[in-house]
Amino acid sequence: MDAIVKPPEGYAHGDVTVVNHPLILHKLTLMRNKETSTGLFRQLLREISLLLCYEVTRNLPLTTEQIETPLCEMEAPVIAGKKLIFASILRAGNGLLEGMLDLVPSARVAHIGLYRDHETLEPKEYYFKAPEDIADRLTIVVDPMLATAGSSIAAVQRLKDRGANQLRFLCLLAAPEGIERFTSAHPDVPVYTAAIDKHLNDKGYIVPGLGDAGDRMYGTK
Ligand code: PRP
Ligand code: URA
């Protein structure tokens, strides 16, 4: 999966990686289609999360340990350091979280319950739980949608206030306005996304987008 394309010029801050692998883009197109069923939408998000997880963990540091194969002893590579934390922004973050836990089953998990107020688009927190030793671990924050960035900025700030100091943010779809705001607010947090869409509409939805990720995942509308 070598095809990492940097976004167009104009993102002044931070570090943004667009993971535009053909398998991801094909599955994303199926997710965008309004005729796609709730079940298939969830399944596709889970499949894409495996591919995005591969990319967001690409440069984790390695060490070696001595093992014995059926033929001989060898110094074999293993991931160094403490286990990762995956921090899911509820609800829709769980659609990425579950697939990522399939790949990294030993990861610790944080949950941040946020919803966007439909009038103001400001995030409202209703739940927060994170591992106590968050300062010692790399934390990958997951949410399929980066729209105005209100939710992701608040979630990352909450984790920083709790001690997190190594963070990455992983989403499926981003708006240019949201990327600009997020990378200005948290220039130390690299962003990984499968696509950057055209713009936000006047209700704060990503266009062309895929609609409301939580509603489409859980069939609530
Ligand atoms: C969606 C999405 C993000 C947020 C993105 O959640 O999952 O968390 O919107 O928008 P923003 O970048 O403008 O903050 P929503 O608030 O709809 O909550 P839900 O997942 O509980 O449906
Ligand atoms: N949240 C969503 O689920 N979809 C959008 O387009 C914007 C925010």
Tens digit of pLDDT for each residue in 111-143? 999 998 888 989 999 999 999 999 999 999 999
**Whether residue 2 has pLDDT greater than 50:** no
**Whether residue 42 has pLDDT greater than 90:** yes
User: Measured from the CA of 209, which atom of ligand 2 is nearest?
Assistant: 6
Annotated catalytic residue 212: yes
Mean pLDDT (whole number) for 68-88: 95
Annotated catalytic residue 215: yes
Burial grade of 113 (CB within 10 A; 0-12, 13-18, 19 or more): middle
Whole-number pLDDT of residue 194: 96
Q: Which two tokens stand for residue 198?
A: 């055209």
Whose CA is closest to 201, among 190, 209, 193? 209
Distance 174 CA to ligand 2 centre (A): 9
Whole-number pLDDT of residue 116: 87
Beta-strand pair 206-207/199-200? antiparallel
Distance 206 CA to ligand 2 centre (A): 6
pTM of the full predicted structure?
Answer: 0.93
Residues 83-109 have pLDDT tens digits of 899 999 999 999 999 999 999 999 999
Position 63: which residue type? T
Is 153 touching ligand 1 by the criterion CB < 6 Å? no
Query: How does the average pLDDT of the chain come out, rounded?
Result: 93
For residue 81, what pLDDT band results from cuts at 50, 70 and 90?
confident
Q: Exactly one of 17, 57, 108, 116 is catalytic; which is it?
A: 116
Other beta carbons within 10 Å of 202: 5
Annotated catalytic residue 116: yes
Distance 136 CA to ligand 2 centre (A): 32
Whole-number pLDDT of residue 77: 96
In the chain, the domains with their CATH numbers are: 13-58+73-218 (3.40.50.2020)
- Which parts of the chain fold into alpha helices (H)? 22-32, 38-56, 93-103, 150-161, 176-185, 213-218
Q: 12 CB contacts (<8 Å, ≥6 apart)?
A: 180, 183, 184
Distance 200 CA to ligand 2 centre (A): 9
**Whether residue 47 has pLDDT greater than 90:** yes
Q: What is the largest CA-CA distance in the chain?
A: 65
Burial grade of 68 (CB within 10 A; 0-12, 13-18, 19 or more): exposed
Q: Which two tokens stand for residue 32?
A: 């965008």
Residues 186-200 have pLDDT tens digits of 999 999 999 999 999
Tell me which residue has its CA closest to atom 5 in ligand 2: 205
For residues 8 and 135, the model is more confident at: 135
Is 45 touching ligand 2 by the criterion CB < 6 Å? no
Is 30 touching ligand 1 by the criterion CB < 6 Å? no
Is 89 touching ligand 1 by the criterion CB < 6 Å? yes
Q: 39 CB contacts (<8 Å, ≥6 apart)?
A: none
Is 84 touching ligand 1 by the criterion CB < 6 Å? no
% pLDDT > 90, the chain: 88
- The answer for 85, left when phi > 0, alpha when psi is -120 to 50, beta otherwise, is beta
Annotated catalytic residue 216: no
Report residue 187 CA to chain centroid gap.
16
Ligand nearest to the CA of 215: 1
Whole-number pLDDT of residue 1: 47
Is 206 touching ligand 2 by the criterion CB < 6 Å? yes
